[in-house]
Amino acid sequence: MSFSLPLVLTDAGDNDRLVYDGENGFLCNVGDVNQISKKLGILINSFKKRIEFGNNSYQKLIDNYSYGKFQRNYIKLINDLKEEK
């Protein structure tokens, strides 16, 4: 995601938090080789989609997992804990 690449991942672990299916890549069923190869084929055959998905990947990374986002969430947590006292 940090290199603006499209994603093709299986629905394992937290991958569903990284892939917005059809926006920044494709989320496939674990072990479904046909589905994975079909989704890779879509990206291989569409330069436009690779660029679009790659750019969307980078933006989702920045919006959801950047250092700035972490700082804001951490400060919010501390402030919320202070307010509970």
Task: Encode pLDDT of 30-73 as tens digits.
Answer: 999 999 999 999 999 999 999 999 999 999 999 998 999 899 99
Q: Given a cut of 90, is residue 84 above it in pLDDT?
A: no
Question: Is residue 22 situated within a structural domain?
Answer: yes
Closest Cα partner for 21 from 10, 32, 31, 33?
Answer: 10
Residue in the structure block whose two tokens are 């920045």: 62
> Does 38 reside within a domain?
yes
Domain that holds residue 69: 7-84
The reply to whether 59 falls in a domain is yes
pTM for the whole thing?
A: 0.80
- Look at residue 83 in the predicted model and tell me its pLDDT: 87
Q: How many domains does the chain have?
A: 1
Q: Is residue 17 part of a domain?
A: yes
Q: What is the CATH number of the domain that holds 17?
A: 3.40.50.2000
What per-residue confidence (pLDDT) applies to 6? Answer: 98
Assigned domain for 1 exists: no
- Interval 20-33: pLDDT, tens: 999 999 999 999 99
Residue 47 lies in a domain: yes
Distant-in-sequence, close-in-space partners of 9: CB < 8 Å, separation ≥ 6: 15, 18, 19, 25, 26, 27, 28
In Å, the largest CA–CA distance within the chain is: 57
The H-assigned helical ranges of 9-84 are 15-18, 33-44, 47-65, 67-84
